[in-house]
Amino acid sequence: MNASHSPLTAPALVELAERYFAAVDRHDVPAVLACFAPDARFSIATYSTLYEGRDTQLRAMFERLNERYAQVWHGHFDHVVDVAKQRIASRFEVENITHDGQKLLKNNCNFFRLQDGLFVEVFVYMSGDNSLR
């Protein structure tokens, strides 16, 4: 989207967040990256880690996630939206399945800031080990 587009509505913000998580779960890196602006910043706040640039550091982070886990699932969402500021906060559960079948459970919160209908800044607070390292 470009600057001439209207801000996303509350349902559209929720749809974008859930579309992003569904793409992560499918290991669909192009669909994941389509949710981000080119200069997006992605911070795992609980681990003081920052990735910058959709097509460089974010792409590499999601590719590593896909290599690390056989399956990933995000669900049981609770969303809070601020249409005026184009922000959404999402609390959810995560299941990561390792290649040897171990199931790792997490409870996470993501805070998304959008511009022109795309994520420009994401802050992640996760329980357990950093699965996005």
The predicted structure's pLDDT at residue 4: 56
The predicted structure's pLDDT at residue 23: 98
The predicted structure's pLDDT at residue 1: 43
- Report CA torsion sign: 18, 124, 67, 106: negative
SS (H, E, C) 87-122: EEEEEEEEEEEECCCCEEEEEEEEEEEEECCEEEEE
The predicted structure's pLDDT at residue 126: 94
Domain ranges of the chain: 10-126
The predicted structure's pLDDT at residue 57: 98
Tokens of 88: 């959404």
The predicted structure's pLDDT at residue 104: 94
Low-confidence ranges of the chain (pLDDT < 50): 1-2
User: 10-126: which CATH topology?
Assistant: Nuclear Transport Factor 2; Chain: A, (3.10.450)
The predicted structure's pLDDT at residue 132: 85
Q: Which residue has the tokens 């994520």?
A: 119
User: Measured between alpha carbons, how far is residue 57 from residues 63, 73, 87 in Å?
Assistant: 10, 22, 22
Please tell me the distance from the alpha carbon of residue 8 to that of residue 85, in angstroms, as a whole number: 10
